[in-house]
Amino acid sequence: MNLHEYQGKEILSSFGVGIQRGIVATTPEEAVEAAKKLTEETGTGWHVIKAQVHAGGRGKGGGVKLAKNLKEVSEIADQIIGMNLVTPQTSAEGKKVHQVLVAEDVYYPGDSEPEEYYMSVLLDRANGTNMIMYSPEGGMDIEAVAEKTPDRIFTESIDPATGILPFQARKIAFNLGLSGKAFKEMSKFVTALYTAYLKSDSSLFEINPVLKTSDDNILAVDAKVTLDDSALFRHKDYAALRDVREEDPTEVEAKEAGLSYVNLDGNVGCMVNGAGLAMATMDLIKQAGGEPANFLDVGGTADAKRVEEAFRLILQDEKVEAILINIFGGIVRCDRVAAGVVEAYKNMGDMIKVPIIVRLQGTNADIAKELIDNSGLNVESAVLFQEAADKVHEVLN
Ligand code: GDP
Ligand code: MN
């Protein structure tokens, strides 16, 4: 589950990570109130108004702006709230902004220049550890840094059994080129950040930029936090942080039906049981000259109700020109799935306008094929993987 910047920062702060403070607002009036309150708390007269959407690159899209007085706070909030923010990470239509974070300006001048760094905490699957990835080249496109100057990106493996060790935090601060107070503050920051990642059961933290202020404090200015869905049961209070407005409506519907669904750009809808088989099926579709319209794992219990729900989800996608059902009957018997497909098809009546290819393999596959072939419906059956691919190819051409 992805969080908004302001929610991510609240979690960081609750574990003692230094953050750029802010208050969320949904109207220009609320934004002005928030700015006044921040001025009382922090003494700053300048504020940054930041669009809260689930996408990075907001600054580039005009979703992050500096306000030097309350009039500007109101004007900028008015401009950003309600806009469709287009960034390098959104679609061409962009994302509607429902709220802004009014944050204290932390780039004030002082004894030294503010400096921006990049830092993320994530899983290192290859090593079976957590990892802190960081770079002195923060603030900008980390992808560009990775491409042009990969030696400027450092990684530190953190063994989950020992947690982050003091020497590791110091090494990171050193590699970022810090000394004196900033060095100590960065060591504390890194340690707190790793603890927050672990305790919140997150699967990704991306803080870009981490800022060294002109008076040598270390703050998270941005926060992209992804919580591990499978651990949400341990954090009842985090469930309320979900903002379904930011999610794909079809994917939300799928989640509610207990299906694992990811919307893609192609023209062949697929319904499969098991994530591995779903991946193989997507490869098969590509090989047959199509493009998968979705990833859809109906799970172990492919009964009529689930098959029907899955059909509905796939059919909502107007790009779909054919549907491939590829089910392995291990736990669930093929004849039950076939009966489910036939029943769902009949229930959906004339909603289904595209050809359907069904490949059922495993327990009772022969009975299943007979059921499909004798149903009198516009459904083609296949036994072999290749046969299914050929039929997909046929209907697309
Ligand atoms: P992103 O564009 O979605 O990654 O949003 P960020 O939260 O990273 O903000 C984008 C940029 O806004 C940062 O890289 C900073 O350069 C700038 N910015 C953020 N906070 C402040 C601030 O307090 N003062 C000033 N002057 N600039 C800021
Ligand atoms: Mn950022």
CATH number of the domain at 35, please. Answer: 3.30.1490.20
For residue 242, give the H/E element and its range: none
Same domain, 320 and 231: no
Query: 200: helix, coil or strand?
Result: coil
Alpha carbons 2 and 199: distance in angstroms, whole number: 16
- Rounded to the nearest integer, the mean pLDDT of the chain is 93
Ligand 2 centroid to Cα of residue 56, in Å, is 6
pLDDT digits (tens, 9 = 90+) for 27-71: 999 999 999 999 999 998 999 999 999 999 999 999 999 999 999
Nearest listed ligand to the Cα of residue 51: 1
Same domain, 270 and 356: yes
Is the confidence at residue 270, as pLDDT, over 90? yes
Ligand 1 atom closest to the Cα of residue 55 is 3
Same domain, 151 and 42: no
Residue nearest to atom 11 of ligand 1 (CA): 59
Place of tokens 């270390």: 218
Reported as a pLDDT band with limits 50, 70 and 90, residue 302 is: low
Does ligand 1 come within 6 angstroms of the Cβ of 62? Answer: no
Ligand 1 atom closest to the Cα of residue 5 is 7
The reported pLDDT for the residue numbered 380 is 86
The reported pLDDT for the residue numbered 136 is 97
pLDDT digits (tens, 9 = 90+) for 358-374: 999 999 999 999 999 99
Among residues 105, 140, 173, which one ends one of the domains? 105
Same domain, 124 and 1: yes
Same domain, 177 and 121: yes
Alpha carbons 36 and 49: distance in angstroms, whole number: 13
Structure-token pair, residue 275: 């994530």
CATH number for the domain spanning 377: value is 3.40.50.261
Same domain, 206 and 189: yes
Range of the domain at 32: 21-105
Does ligand 1 come within 6 angstroms of the Cβ of 9? Answer: no
Alpha carbons 359 and 339: distance in angstroms, whole number: 13
Name the residues annotated as catalytic.
Answer: 118, 206
Reported as a pLDDT band with limits 50, 70 and 90, residue 169 is: very high
pLDDT digits (tens, 9 = 90+) for 282-291: 999 998 899 9
Does ligand 1 come within 6 angstroms of the Cβ of 246? Answer: no
Residue nearest to atom 8 of ligand 1 (CA): 222
Is the confidence at residue 24, as pLDDT, over 80? yes
Give the residue, 157 or 335, on which the prediction is more confident.
157
Among residues 214, 247, 280, which one ends one of the domains? 247
Does ligand 1 come within 6 angstroms of the Cβ of 207? Answer: no
Percentage of the chain lying above the pLDDT 70 cut = 99
Number of domains composing the chain: 3
Among residues 74, 89, 105, which one ends one of the domains? 105
Reported as a pLDDT band with limits 50, 70 and 90, residue 149 is: very high
**Nearest CA-CA partner of 2 in 330, 228, 160, 266:** 228
